[in-house]
Chain A
Amino acid sequence: RLRKWQRRIRVSNATERNLAFALSELDRMASALGLPRTVRETAAVVYRKAVDKNLIRGRSIEGVAAAALYAACRQCSVPRTLDEIEEVSRVSRKEIGRTYRFISRELALKLMPTSPIDYVPRFCSGLNLKGEVQSKSVEILRQASEKELTSGRGPTGVAAAAIYIASILCGERRTQREVADVAGVTEVTIRNRYKELAEELDIEIIL
């Protein structure tokens, strides 16, 4: 009986220790990414659900924590790319993506693919662009979506192109390099996307 009692304490300690480690990892990564408390709490909820369903078996705590944070950002509509999560975690992008798919399926998170619109506020503030430009960007993205110009394209690239166009239309032009840097895509991608958007949405860009 005593053995069983001690074992329970040991298991309990290990479980609590692992949970504490996971939560500290979530906090560390969230801080590094400057994420608000709500996102950290959401990530903690996702992680705890994963623990309750024994989804950690065969997976690293760091990996599940990173995947939980990635999922939480999307649930809260403040998405971070897998590359950004990878930068603050100790796990590879491949592992994070793999773990994300797993917990997303097992916990039935049913998340829609990231919308380019959700990247607009963050990218615009990173470029010191006002609300007017943000609104214009969102308007462009809604039109782009209606005209089927976003399926299969990277959300960050499409968002970057819309912001690039909006900044010009609003008289607060940002260069492709500046937009590319905050969006984490190349100038070539911005160029390809903005040309397609300008042409299909009949937007005149005067440089």
Chain B
Amino acid sequence: MSESSIKIENVVASTKLAEEFDLTLIESQFEGAEYNKQKFPGLVYRVSDPKAAFLVFTSGKVVCTGAKNVADVHTVIGNMAKKLNSIGIKTIENPQITVQNIVASADLHTILNLNAIAIGLGLENIEYEPEQFPGLVYRIDEPKVVVLIFSSGKLVVTGGKSPEDCERGVEVVRQQLDNMGLL
């Protein structure tokens, strides 16, 4: 019924793979790893099977960004654990992986009048400053996501913890615009 045809563009997740990490050691063993403690406390490491980027911290915590699926997040983190094991670093067996944010795009396939939408949704509920950015920012409480609405009818949904949050967010926007006769 409401297959919003959402396209997930990026998934951000965090987990803990060990109690602590020697980032200098990892930097020397991992090809392409970047670590500048004074610039940023985390080590940056990019992988390309499923494409993703890691931020590894001395606490053993890891942030994974850039994955296109929630499943890929688990895959790349599993691969990361194996790579760490291969250089003699032990990791936690079944790490608890938390999806922190999902960025998705969608398309309403209609040209939109952002001024009318701004009034329709209520100026106090939106932010629309075309001088600074072409998109209208709409924050939704349920699901708790932020939707960027463009005059082209394209949308960007972010802040969701699951793909369902993103799809519901798009539906909320679609329905509200429809109810106001702006679709």
Contacts and interface: CB of A to CB of B under 8 A. Distances in A.
B117 to A, nearest CB: 9
Contacts of B124: 105, 108, 110
A75 interface: no
B130 A110 contact: no
Nearest to A145: B115
B127 A151 contact: no
Contacts of A99: none
A111 B128 CA distance: 10
Contacts of B152: 152
Given A112-B115, A112-B118, A155 B131 contact: yes
Interface size range of chain B in the complex: 20 to 34
Interface in A151-176: 151-156
B112 interface: yes
A121 interface: no
Contacts of A145: 115
B32 interface: no
Given A151-B113, A152-B134, A152-B135, A113 B118 contact: yes
B123 A151 contact: no
B114 to A, nearest CB: 4
B92 interface: no
A162 B150 CA distance: 22
Contacts, number: 48
B130 A155 contact: yes
Contacts of A154: 130-131
- B interface, over-half SS: loop
A152 B130 contact: yes
- A interface, over-half SS: loop
B144 to A, nearest CB: 18
A148 B152 CA distance: 10
A201 to B, nearest CB: 16
Interface residues of A, number: 19
Nearest to B117: A151
Nearest to A97: B132
Nearest to B127: A101
Contacts of A151: 112-115, 130, 151
Nearest to A146: B113
A42 interface: no
Given A108-B124, A151-B113, A114 B131 contact: yes
Interface of A: 81-82, 97, 101, 105, 108, 110-114, 145, 148, 151-156
Given A111-B123, A153-B134, A154-B131, 15 more contacts: A81-B131, A97-B132, A110-B123, A110-B124, A112-B119, A112-B123, A113-B118, A113-B130, A114-B131, A145-B115, A151-B113, A151-B114, A152-B134, A153-B130, A156-B131
A-B complex: 10 closest residue pairs judged by Cβ atoms = A152-B134, A151-B151, A152-B151, A151-B114, A110-B123, A113-B128, A148-B111, A113-B130, A154-B131, A152-B130
8 contacts: A105-B124, A110-B124, A112-B118, A113-B128, A151-B112, A151-B115, A153-B134, A155-B131
